[in-house]
Amino acid sequence: MHLRSEPSILYFGTPVVLIGTCNENGSYNLAPMSSIFWLGWRCMLGLSAVSKTTENILRTKECVLNLPSVAQVAAVNRLARTTGSDPIPAGKLQKGYRYEPDKFETAGLTPLTADTVSAPRVSECPVQLEAILEGTYGLAQHSETQRGKILTLEMRITRVHLDENILMKGQENKVDPDKWRPLIMSFQEFYGLGDKLHPSTLAEIDESLYRTPDIAAGR
């Protein structure tokens, strides 16, 4: 039986991402989030308009999207309720956030230089996606109480770095889904993927048919 329900959030399960950006003074910021989806070599980020990460992306027009595996869950959790914003935004202050200027040290993670952007990669993350800002769109524009509080950012991937241990044998451009174990956030809790449940008809399509001009543009 289905019941009418009003959950405060609708986070039914999405990958966790550590967004690396550059602060005004050249130091690095690192922030976990999970409001993201990809199409081709582009993705959409959903972020608070007043977060340090959003501020940095809007100013620099770039970031690195670092995808942790289940092995990095403790490091990700150490960043929970930390912010690079000082003063702390009222909404985060209410939720118990604290100001933390050195996110990499707090998490116990290692920054790496990127190839096409100034933002940092995370050495420990198996997937590192360098990206530039292509568009900014407001969410809830028709709501007087929410307008201007949430932004969706369109990012174009310019360079992909993949740990060889998650690639299909003999194929440097194809991730093996049996090896890649992304960290998943579902209703504020951490989860991982289980075993494959059923053969997929979509998987019969050659991945190369999904390639877009963005791939060549990022070289």
User: CATH code at 47?
Assistant: 2.30.110.10
Q: Is residue 3 part of a domain?
A: no
pLDDT tens digits, residue range 135-152? 999 988 888 888 888 999
Query: The domain containing residue 139 runs over which residues?
Result: 14-218
Mean pLDDT of 12-23: 96
Q: Is residue 2 part of a domain?
A: no
pLDDT tens digits, residue range 103-133? 999 999 999 999 999 999 999 999 999 999 9
Average pLDDT, the chain: 92
pTM of the complete model: 0.92
Q: Is residue 6 part of a domain?
A: no
- How far, CA to CA in Å, does 175 sit from each of 184, 204, 212? 17, 15, 17
Q: Is residue 99 part of a domain?
A: yes
Q: Is residue 5 part of a domain?
A: no
Residue 189's pLDDT band, with cuts at 50, 70 and 90, is very high
The total of structural domains in the chain comes to 1
Q: Is residue 8 part of a domain?
A: no
Q: Is residue 1 part of a domain?
A: no
Mean pLDDT of 155-174: 96
pLDDT at 143: 85
Query: What is the SS3 string spanning the chain?
Result: CCCCCCCCCCCCCEECEEEEEECCCCCEEEEEECCEEEECCEEEEEEECCCHHHHHHHHHCEEEEEECEHHHHHHHHHCCCEECCCCCCHHHHHCCCEECCCHHHHHCCCEECCCCCCCCEECCCCEEEEEEEEEEEECCCCCCCCCCCEEEEEEEEEEEEECHHHECCCCCCCECCCCCCECEEECCEEECCCCCCCCCCHHHCCHHHHCCHHHHHCC
In the numeric block, which tokens belong to residue 194? Answer: 């289980």
pLDDT at 218: 67
Q: Is residue 59 part of a domain?
A: yes
Residue 217: pLDDT over 80:
no
pLDDT tens digits, residue range 20-74? 999 999 999 999 999 999 999 999 999 999 999 999 999 999 999 999 999 999 9
